[in-house]
Amino acid sequence: MASDSLSFAEVMSAFAIEFEVDPYGDGHINDTYIADSTPKYILQRINTSIFKNPDELMHNISSVTKHLRNAIIKKGGNPDRETLNIIKTTDGKLYYRSSDGKCYRMYKFVDNTLSLNLPENPEQFEESARAFGQFQNMLSDFDASTLYETIPDFHHTPKRTQNLINAYEKDTAGRKNEVKDIYDGYMKYAEICNSIQDCLDSGEIPYRVTHNDTKLNNVLFDKDTEKCLCVIDLDTVMPGSLLCDFGDSLRFGASTAVEDEADLDKVWFSLEYFESYTKGFIGELKDTITKKEIELLPLSALVLTYECGIRFLTDYLDGDTYFKIHYPDQNLVRAKNHLKLCQDIFSKLDEMKKIVEKYI
């Protein structure tokens, strides 16, 4: 049972599900728990220092899941398992604010599924690409103007670079000297990594309703069929670039090692996995993806790996206030890991272009 179980009793009764909960999953942002009842439920304490307006956040998730539900029904799927289902509080609210001011939401637990931190084979990764591609397709007719921006400038890479520069100058946690080489290593890619934002700003590529956090453990695989069943973690569904969804999946899933692997000899960018993801993603989006977006697919893997890597480094410099850590220098380990990945991706961009050409 979770240690702060006293307050959980209050929270669970607000949803009329009076059952003990245990910590669950590997998310870096919210506190996730499972109620091992029949049926099971997911309870999440929303990270309100990141998602500052839970009303807007839950409005987005509610309207997006309603839309997805209709799209899933139309294609003959099971909406109770193929998208998130919010369980409202007994007084009809989308989340519960507890007496100590914390915000909790509840979802149906999608049972008999797997959430992976590395794909086990290329076919599995291709399958996740189809799932994120289909997710994008199902939201292509969603009215983007009804969505709130839950985290401002979430994938604005130039602003992320500026945040790193500021954190380095400020040196809140006194770690600046320790990270100098890593910082300099990242700065070599700063300019080239402005490309997605520059193209959005100039209108060369479109804004679409995108997921924005397409790591492999944000899609659930059906244990029986091994097919992707449900795209989860909808906190950052907002207008953005399809390239961010593509690149972020690769940063996480096309690496030969997990995100916090400290032995850099194990960290490489796999062209085989790049190919399988590209095949699945382009296969789903061939009717809508533009020429310019196709041209930028390889670079997007670099941009999103750079962007996430500098976010880890910024957080380390700030004293670990954003991403969950399980040991003191985990954010630094993640940042070193992603720098190694950036270097490898950069050296493989020409080969990646040739792979993309095979699928257009």
Comparing CB distances to ligand GN1, the nearer of 235 and 293 is 235
| Contact between 214 and ligand ADP per CB under 6 A | no
Q: Is 352 exposed, middle or buried (0-12, 13-18, 19+ CB in 10 A)?
A: buried
Q: Is 60 among the residues that bind ligand ADP (CB under 6 A)?
A: no
List the one residue from 17, 27, 210, 270 that touches Mg ion (CB under 5 A): 27
Does 217 engage in binding with ligand ADP (CB under 6 A)?
yes
Residue closest to ligand GN1 (Cβ):
28
The least CB distance from residue 236 to ligand ADP, in Å, is 9
Applying CB under 6 A, among 89, 218, 249, 337 the residue interacting with ligand GN1 is 218
Task: Compute and round to an integer the Cα radius of gyration of the chain.
Answer: 20
Distance, in Å, from the CA atom of 230 to the CA atom of 248, rounded to the nearest integer, reads 18
- Residue 164 binds ligand GN1, judged by CB under 6 A: no
Site for ligand GN1 in 228-247 (CB under 6 A): 233, 235-236
Q: Which is nearer to Mg ion, 11 or 232 (CB)?
A: 232
Q: Which residues pair with 43 in a beta bridge?
A: 33, 106
Q: Does 298 bind ligand ADP (CB under 6 A)?
A: no
Shortest Å distance, C-beta 344 to ligand ADP: 26
Kindly tell me which of 84 and 138 has the beta carbon lying closer to Mg ion. 84
Beta-bridged to residue 255, according to DSSP, are 269
Picked from ligand GN1, ligand ADP, Mg ion, none, the partner binding residue 236 (CB below 5 to 8 A depending on kind) is ligand GN1
Out of 157, 212, 218, 314, the only residue in the binding site for Mg ion (CB under 5 A) is 218
**Which DSSP symbol is given to 233?**
-
Contacts of 146 (CB under 8 A, 6+ apart): 63
Tell me: does residue 233 bind Mg ion (CB under 5 A): yes
Of 11, 12, 14, 29, the residue at the interface with ligand ADP (CB under 6 A) is: 29
Q: How distant is the alpha carbon of residue 47 from its chain centre? A: 15
Distance CA 56, CA 185 (A): 38
Closest CA to 237 of 142, 322, 302: 142
Both tokens of 355, joined, read: 């792979």
Least spacing, CB of residue 229 vs ligand ADP, in Å? 10
Beta strands in the chain (DSSP E): 21-23, 31-35, 41-45, 86-87, 96-97, 103-108, 113-114, 208-210, 219-222, 228-231, 238-240
Least CB distance to ligand ADP at residue 85 (A): 8
Q: Element (H or E) spanning 346, and its range?
A: helix 330-347
The residue among 338, 347, 193, 341 whose CA lies nearest residue 269 is: 341
> Are 222 and 127 in contact, with CB atoms under 8 Å apart?
no
Q: Is 213 in the site for ligand GN1 (CB under 6 A)?
A: yes
Measure the CA–CA gap between 186 and 104, rounded to whole angstroms. 37
Residue 328 carries which side chain, given as an amino acid letter?
P
Find where tokens 């996430």 sit: 308
Among 7, 28, 114, 226, binds ligand GN1 (CB under 6 A): 28
- Please choose, out of 13-21, 108-116, 120-128, 302-310, the segment that lies near ligand ADP by the rule CB under 6 A: 108-116
154-162, 228-236, 250-258, 349-357 -> range binding Mg ion (CB under 5 A): 228-236
Binding site for ligand GN1 (CB under 6 A): 27-29, 213, 215, 218, 233, 235-236, 248, 259, 308
Binding site for Mg ion (CB under 5 A): 27, 218, 233
Binding site for ligand ADP (CB under 6 A): 24-30, 32, 42, 84, 107, 109-110, 113, 115, 217-218, 220, 232-233, 235
